Amino acid sequence: MSLWMILVLIAAVGLAFWVGWLASKKIGQGKIASAEVLAQKIVSEAEKEAEALKKEKLLEAKEEWLRLKQSVENEVKSQRAELHRLERQLQQKESSLDRRAEMLEEKLRGLDRQQEALRQKEQQLQQREAKLSDLEEEQRRRLERISGMSQEEAKQLLIESMKDRAKREAAQIAKEIKDQARLTANREAREIVIQAIQRTAADHSVETTVSVVTLPNDEMKGRIIGREGRNIRSFEQATGVDVIVDDTPEAVILSGFDPFRREVARIALEKLISDGRIHPSRIEEVVQKTQKEMEEKLLEIGEQAMLDAGVHGLHPELVKLLGKLKYRTSYGQNVLQHSIEVAYLAGLMAAELELDGNLAKRAGLLHDIGKAIDKYTEGTHTQIGVEIAKKYGEGPIVLNAIAGHHEDVEAISPITILVKAADAISGSRPGARRETLESYVKRLEKLEQLAKSFEGVGQAYAIQAGREVRVMVQPEKIDDAAAEVLASEIAEKIQSEMEYPGQIKVTVIREYRAVDYAK
């Protein structure tokens, strides 16, 4: 390549570079101008927004200032109002104190005037006393001259005369007081007793010695009797109750003087009828189970009696003995109902006399507690009751009421007198008691006790209304020959120690059982 060509090429390249530089410069200047315009626009908009924001903030600040100003003004107004109210109160108190001060000053002036008046009256009284003393002395001298007695002798004579007169008046007043107290006491006592009787008015029904068990049909009578009478004999031996099967439709009668035994027999027979299985072994099983259930029932009966009488806190054994009283009678009257009624009456009378009503109720409820076991223990029911109550933590007043309600001991508390009166009221109501039933029950109890007094006797039951006594002996102690001798001895003892109508049949039963188990 020639030098010319090279130079031309270099010149072309340089020209092209220059042209490109000029073009890029113009383009850059256009961009700069455009950017400057955009920047100015952005700045202008920013200034406008800043101005608007500034105005907004100023407005908000002004509103906040106005709000704070209004709040401060309201608070200032409230404080001013409170200050005005306090000022008015202070002014009122000041005026009230001023009035009180004026009143006190006036009272003080009045007291001063009264004191001055009293001082003057005191001086006048002293002057009068001096004059009276002189007059008395002058009168005394005159009386001594006239009567011929000294002052001491006249004084002694006057005193003796006044003593005699005072004694006569005192005796007369005492007599009038006693007569009035006696009349008032009798009237109030009658009112208290009448109110107590009226408020505890209760129905009485004399206890009977039979229970009726309803049967589903008359065919059940044959099942109760059993083949050759074995079922009925087993039932009577297990319960000690006589079963009477007669023409009464769909019913049998249980006869026995012991209500507890009769109740056990009634429940057991109803269970046997309901179950349908009636045979000797089942009878013994049901009777034993019923006896255990009755022991539990006694506690429930005692608790209900406590609730009815309003008595609390008795020992569980005392509660159980109370339950037993439901199955005891006294002259035909149920002892538990009688005890509850005595508790009511004693409590009401104690309340009328402003005594401890709760203590009176407690003593009344327990006054016959000894009757629950008196036929199994020696001693009167009051002695036994005191021992039982003392054993289970009863206090001296309750013990005295138990012992003294039949006047066995002297009463140490009015509670004893109230219990005695309540016992008499309850027992004396028309229809409450029946003498013949009580003597009948005692005769049957004595009949059983006579039979049990012989050695080798296990159980003895009086049945057929006391016309027969069945004696179950222990087969290991009494053999067949001795059983005949025992029947004769029991009959002779009954003849010698008891009085009874007609005759009494003595039946001695000796039964030996051999039991084994197939394994």
pLDDT tens for each residue of 352-400: 888 888 999 999 999 889 888 856 677 788 889 899 999 999 999 999 9
Read off the pLDDT of each residue in 29-33 and give the average, rounded to a whole number.
70
How much is the pLDDT for 445?
85
What are the backbone angles phi and psi of residue 318, rounded to the nearest 5°? -65, -35
**Structural domain containing residue 505:** 437-510
How much is the pLDDT for 189?
54
Both 454 and 394 in one domain: the answer is no
Inform me whether the pLDDT recorded for 198 exceeds 50: no
Both 323 and 289 in one domain: the answer is no
Residue 149 lies in a domain: no
Residue 193 lies in a domain: no
Residue 143: pLDDT band with limits 50, 70, 90: low
Per the structure, how many domains does the chain have?
4
- pLDDT over 90 for what percent of the chain? 8
Q: From CA 242, how far away is CA 3, in angstroms rounded?
A: 169
How much is the pLDDT for 58?
85
Residue 179: pLDDT band with limits 50, 70, 90: low
Q: Who has greater pLDDT, 172 or 211?
A: 211
Q: From CA 375, how far away is CA 447, in angstroms rounded?
A: 12
How much is the pLDDT for 438?
64
Both 414 and 448 in one domain: the answer is no
How much is the pLDDT for 381?
84
Q: Who has greater pLDDT, 167 or 480?
A: 480
Both 46 and 60 in one domain: the answer is yes
Both 229 and 255 in one domain: the answer is yes
Q: Count, in order, helices (H) and strands (E) of the chain.
A: 14, 8
Domain at 275, CATH number: 3.30.1370.10
- pLDDT over 70 for what percent of the chain? 83
- Residue with structure tokens 């920047």? 39
Inform me whether the pLDDT recorded for 265 exceeds 70: yes
pLDDT tens for each residue of 83-129: 888 888 888 888 888 888 888 888 888 888 888 888 888 888 888 88
Residue 158 lies in a domain: no
Residue after which a domain boundary falls, among 135, 164, 187: 135
Inform me whether the pLDDT recorded for 197 exceeds 80: no
pTM: 0.48
Q: From CA 341, how far away is CA 313, in angstroms rounded?
A: 19
Domain at 503, CATH number: 3.30.300.30
Read off the pLDDT of each residue in 122-151 and give the average, rounded to a whole number.
76
Inform me whether the pLDDT recorded for 140 exceeds 60: yes
Q: Who has greater pLDDT, 91 or 40?
A: 91
Inform me whether the pLDDT recorded for 166 exceeds 50: yes
Residue 18 lies in a domain: no
Residue 164 lies in a domain: no
How much is the pLDDT for 429?
55
Residue 289: pLDDT band with limits 50, 70, 90: very high
Both 302 and 234 in one domain: the answer is no
Residue 181 lies in a domain: no
Q: Please name the amino acid found at residue 356.
A: D
Both 404 and 474 in one domain: the answer is no
Longest Cα–Cα distance of the chain, Å, equals 204
Domain at 338, CATH number: 1.10.3210.10
Both 419 and 460 in one domain: the answer is no
Residue 89 lies in a domain: yes
Both 242 and 351 in one domain: the answer is no
Both 474 and 357 in one domain: the answer is no
Residue 490: pLDDT band with limits 50, 70, 90: very high
Average pLDDT of the chain to the nearest whole number: 81
pLDDT tens for each residue of 54-77: 888 888 888 888 888 888 888 888
Read off the pLDDT of each residue in 181-189 and give the average, rounded to a whole number.
57
Q: From CA 299, how far away is CA 415, in angstroms rounded?
A: 27
Q: List the Cα angle 94/96/102 in 5-degree steps.
A: 105
- Written as six digits, the tokens of 275 are 């179950």
Read off the pLDDT of each residue in 492-515 and give the average, rounded to a whole number.
82
How much is the pLDDT for 268?
92
pLDDT tens for each residue of 222-231: 888 888 889 8
Q: From CA 17, how far away is CA 68, in angstroms rounded?
A: 74
How much is the pLDDT for 192?
53
- Written as six digits, the tokens of 44 are 């202008």
User: Of 205-214, 234-243, 496-505, which range is least confident?
Assistant: 205-214
Residue 199: pLDDT band with limits 50, 70, 90: very low
Residues 262, 441 contacting (CB under 8 angstroms): no
Residue 8 lies in a domain: no
Both 365 and 473 in one domain: the answer is no
Q: Please name the amino acid found at residue 408.
A: D
Secondary structure of residue 34 in the 3-state scheme: helix
Residue after which a domain boundary falls, among 278, 295, 312: 295
Inform me whether the pLDDT recorded for 202 exceeds 60: no
**Measured on CA atoms in the order 245, 248, 249, 255, is the torsion positive or negative?**
negative
Residues 301, 335 contacting (CB under 8 angstroms): no
Residue after which a domain boundary falls, among 87, 109, 135: 135
Both 291 and 321 in one domain: the answer is no
